[in-house]
């Protein structure tokens, strides 16, 4: 599975957009990019995923570069409740025996 | 819809005591996982079960045993607890080839 690299920490002002980058330069053509977040003391929660095209849901937007070597998770109007650790992972399109593997992620702090 | 349920939520053990952490999912998922998370660290896989009747070691299996009791339940047992096993334990489930993994709310275990 491809490895991902994320900044250790970021901060953002409440109401502004939070842009969280992820590098996955060794991603293969049959791997999705997934994003999860973990709010303090809770289990990780799925946010969004994508393969090639940009994706948007009620929680966030995912922008994937054309070469697929990096992506950005965008929280368009960050709130204090978005303070969490954000994990970017890759997974094969065909599940098989895939095991979700999480690194240290990016700790996002949203301040007033 | 409960998703993934873990019991207990909190536990304090003395060194050498044994206990079983329970996990149940109601999404009819085939795969289930046990992770541990230490302060400032990502999630590390202890054991997983790709399907009912199968279990495999993950990254940090020493000191633990698991049982996939049926498709719904996957338990984690500490036979002789050690202070190094003080951690937050998360159970997760997923369906191979489908989207995201779902996590429980965690069990906070302290071994004194």
Mutate to test the interface with A, among B34, B103, B106, B109 (most CBs of A within 10 A): B103
pLDDT band of residue A101 (cuts 50, 70, 90) is confident
Average confidence score pLDDT of chain B: 93
A89 contacts: CB under 8 Å, gap ≥ 6: A4, A33, A34, A35, A36, A100, A101, A102, A103
Average pLDDT (A105-111) is 96
pLDDT of residue A16: 97
pLDDT digits (tens, 9 = 90+) for A19-75: 999 999 999 888 899 999 999 889 999 999 999 989 999 999 999 999 999 999 999
Inter-chain residue contact B101 with A100, CB threshold 8 Å: yes
Given this model, what pLDDT does residue B65 score?
97
Q: What is the pLDDT of residue A1?
A: 53
Partners of A100 on chain B (C-beta within 8 Å) are 33, 92, 94, 101
A18 versus B96: the higher-pLDDT residue is: A18
Q: Do B101 and A46 touch (CB under 8 A)?
A: yes
pLDDT higher than 90, residue A79: yes
Choose among B34, B12, B37, B42: nearest CA to B93: B34
Rounded Cα distance between B18 and B65, Å, is 11
Give the mutation candidate from B44, B100, B104 for the A interface (greatest A CB count, under 10 A). B100
Question: Residue A107: pLDDT above 80?
Answer: yes
Contact call for B90 and A44, based on CB within 8 A? yes
| C-alpha closest to that of A32 among B92, B99, B32 | B99
pLDDT at B100: 85
What's the rounded mean pLDDT across residues B3-7?
Answer: 96
Q: Indicate the pLDDT class of residue A2, thresholds 50, 70 and 90.
A: low
**Nearest residue on chain A to B45, alpha-carbon basis:** A101
The string of pLDDT tens digits covering residues B26-60 is: 999 999 999 999 987 889 999 999 889 999 999 99
Answer yes or no: do A43 and B106 touch at CB < 8 A: yes
CB B86 within 8 A of CB B62: no
SS3 B109: strand
* pLDDT on residue A3: 86
């Amino acid at each position: 599975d491809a490895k991902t690299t994320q900044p250790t920490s970021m901060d953002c002002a409440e109401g502004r957009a939070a842009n969280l980058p992820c590098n996955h330069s060794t991603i293969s053509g049959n791997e999705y990019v997934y994003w999860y977040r973990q709010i303090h003391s809770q289990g990780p929660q799925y946010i969004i995923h994508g393969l090639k095209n940009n994706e948007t849901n009620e929680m966030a937007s995912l922008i994937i570069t054309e070469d697929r070597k990096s992506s950005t998770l965008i929280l368009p109007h960050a709130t204090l409740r978005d303070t969490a650790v954000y994990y970017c992972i890759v997974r094969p399109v065909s599940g098989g025996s895939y095991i979700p593997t999480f690194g240290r992620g990016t700790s996002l702090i949203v301040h007033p | 819809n409960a998703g993934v349920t873990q019991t207990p939520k909190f536990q304090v053990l003395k060194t050498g005591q044994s206990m079983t952490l329970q996990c149940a999912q109601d999404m009819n998922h085939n795969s289930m996982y046990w992770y541990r998370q230490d302060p400032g660290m990502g999630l590390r896989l202890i054991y997983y079960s790709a399907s009912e009747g199968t279990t495999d070691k993950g990254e940090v299996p020493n000191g633990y045993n698991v049982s996939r009791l049926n498709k719904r339940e996957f338990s984690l047992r500490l036979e002789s607890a050690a202070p190094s096993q003080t951690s937050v334990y998360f159970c997760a489930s997923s369906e191979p080839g489908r989207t995201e993994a779902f996590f429980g709310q965690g069990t906070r275990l302290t071994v004194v």
